Amino acid sequence: MCDTLCAVGSERTLFAKNSDRPVAEVQLVESFASRRGGGRLRTQYIEIDDAGAFALLGCRPEWLWGLETGVNEHRVAIGNEKVFTVDDPYKVEPALLGMDLVRLGLERGRTANEALDVMTDLLARHGQGGVGDRTHDEPYFSSFLVADPGRAWVLETSGRTWAARPVDRTAAISNRLTLGADWTRASDDVPAGTDFDTYRLARAPTGHADARLAASRACLAAGSDALTPRILAAQMRHHGERPWAPPGGDPTPVSAPPAASMPDGTGVTVCMHVRGYQATASSLIAELPSDTGRSVRAWVAPGSPCVSVYVPVFPPDGVPRELGDAGVWKRFLTLRERVEADVDTAAALPEIRAAFGPVEAELWDAADEAAGDPDAQAAFTAACWRPVASALDRLRA
């Protein structure tokens, strides 16, 4: 599943993604150092020429080489979505996964335009294919949101076929094609004027994506310059009723996750809890300022954001090592399972937010004070996990 959005403002771009994955699949948040080019590079299923890599922060399912989302040293952010199209992903040989393309775009792109060129060139050269969901043995194609401080692109694909349009201030993508005839760039096999929605698999239901797109677009309607990272954090905790629990804000009333999901999309929410199938495995929010004198900021919630803390990080390398620890991720899994099992009293989620809310607020304020000072940022990164770990201990996770 997944939901990704961005808002291109006058002085910065905000970007956010909830990565929805199989319910027990570990997702790690890691820093990746820059790399010189040369030789061959092993992606998930194939080898390609290694063009080198910029330093980046990325969120990665433990078994994958590629990334669900990330931010690189040049202030480019990318996230992908599973989409259902007329081309059958079961009939193509393993090639590049959508997650490989996210990582390669971040490794090689200094701007959103450049990352888009990298990704579409790789699609043409190597194609797209292979299992991206090991739990359900499911291959799929992807759409992408590619952003930098001044611009963004929506890129949608079906195998090697693709189309893209520039973002006009705000955009949201989910698990369906969203482009019509409004694209401005496309692969050679897409005739001029084509409605790209004709590549959508007609029999695939869209209700589950439409409901989440509506929630994301309602948030973005405030306008790109009115939005803040705190507003987006509340949005990424959306359980179908409203945004809630902004960092430093009132956590009440608590918005519990839906108990069940329906074929029309009811119960499939931005903060996802589809029992036995998928749940949000991590959430990333990034602020990409156009002023290079300002630090790039990001906030990462391991596990489901409703039962987690958006930990401030300073990409690409100001990331607590605990975020890359599978054992830490499983502690947040314990909390999500506790909430999903508590359908009678609904007491678990308020208890969790009462423990995490003050910690999150203090971390955000402390990161604001450290921003722009490399020594202060390093000190913050070294110390920021301690209060989170203490809260996890108190919650017996």
Residue-wise DSSP of 255-320: -PPPS---TTSTT--SS-EETTTEEEEEEEEEEEES-TTSPPEEEEEES-GGGS--EEEBTTTB--
| Nearest alpha carbon to residue 52 among 37, 73, 32, 33 | 37
Query: Which residues, including other chains, have CB under 8 Å from residue 298's CB and lie 6 or more apart?
Result: 57, 71, 284, 285, 286, 287, 312, 313, 314, 315
Asked about 2 being catalytic, the answer comes back as yes
Decide: 284 and 17 in contact? Cβ < 8 Å: yes
* Annotated catalytic residue, options 2, 59, 219, 384: 2
- Residues 388 and 286: their CA atoms lie apart, in Å, by 20
- Residues 83 and 141: their CA atoms lie apart, in Å, by 6
Can you give 178-242 as a three-state secondary structure string?
CCCCCCCEECCCCCCCCCHHHHECCCCCCHHHHHHHHHHHHHHCCCCCCCCHHHHHHHHCCCCCC
Which residues have a catalytic role annotated?
A: 2
